[in-house]
Amino acid sequence: MNGLELARYYYETAGKQALERQVPDLVPRLAIGLAGEGSECFGLDDELSRDHDWGPAFCIWMTEEDFVKHGVQVQAVYRGLPDAVAGFSVRKSGIISSGRVGCLCIEDWYRRYTGYAHGPETLAQWRQIPESFLATATNGEIFADPLGVFMSIRQKLLAYYPEDIRIKKIVARAATMAQAGQYNYPRCVRRGDTVAAQLAMAEFANATMSMVYLLNRRYAPYYKWIHRGMKNLERLPRVAVQLEKLSRGEGEAQEMIEGICLNVSAELRRQQLTTREDTFLIDLCADMMQRIQDPKLRQTHIMQE
């Protein structure tokens, strides 16, 4: 079992009965699941993940009012659960993993990742939140939420960025892909500046991966999981393979960069974000900016996001 499967098994075989037996009046007010920080919350954990901050565990989310009144009691129930399940020792809270599992306050949990107790409301608020934080706030699985408070906020975030924000981020990524990959990388290679060339390639790869997530309307996770997560995306699946080959030095790098940009530009047109046929992505940016409805956002620099 991976971490998510193990979390559900731990809850269903031990946690659920303990909560129903010891705090039955609170059960209809508890949201249960596993989400937040850690590869297991993205379903990307493997055997190497088990060397730290891993093991059977789940979250119990309560409203702020309930948490103040009953949080200590519910946490005591959680701490009293078995120390092992399915042959695995349960996860213990440490300095790094503190506040990730056990009894948690809904408002504090969403504030931790979005800055707001009930998630962002305005375009300015959406722009302030790092994309990987939104990925963290919407990953994992929810096993139960009879009250519906936790899920109402989660569903708002899962509905994805307001379209103006999404387009502006797409424009910024296109500009970076063009500048770093299509322009600066070959110039650095011709100069023999190998360090700068590698940095340009890294900028290009990072912007490309973020672009693919944006075109799939999915939040990009923390950098060490961003490429692995691309394999689960519906649109532009070839780009993940192309980036992997590029990182291994398979094929001529500039040709591969141009091939990636060709695929991305085709998807931009398919989503009606531009009508231009150019493959030099910087040339598409002005056209895409015109599709932003908010005048203040439309006037920001193309690379600012």
pLDDT at 95 over 50: no
Rounded to whole angstroms, the Cα distance separating 106 from 67 reads 9
Report pLDDT for 52. 65
pLDDT at 176 over 90: yes
Rounded to whole angstroms, the Cα distance separating 29 from 145 reads 7
Cα angle: 19, vertex 22, 28; to 5 degrees: 50
Rounded to whole angstroms, the Cα distance separating 278 from 270 reads 14
Name the band, by pLDDT with cuts 50, 70 and 90, for residue 156: very high
pLDDT at 97 over 70: no
Tokens of 153: 């906020």
Report pLDDT for 138. 98
Read off the pTM: 0.93
Compute the average pLDDT of residues 81-106.
79
Compute the average pLDDT of residues 176-184.
97
Compute the average pLDDT of residues 201-209.
97
Rounded to whole angstroms, the Cα distance separating 238 from 153 reads 33
Kindly report the average pLDDT of the chain as a whole number: 93
Neighbouring C-beta atoms of residue 94, cutoff 10 Å: 10
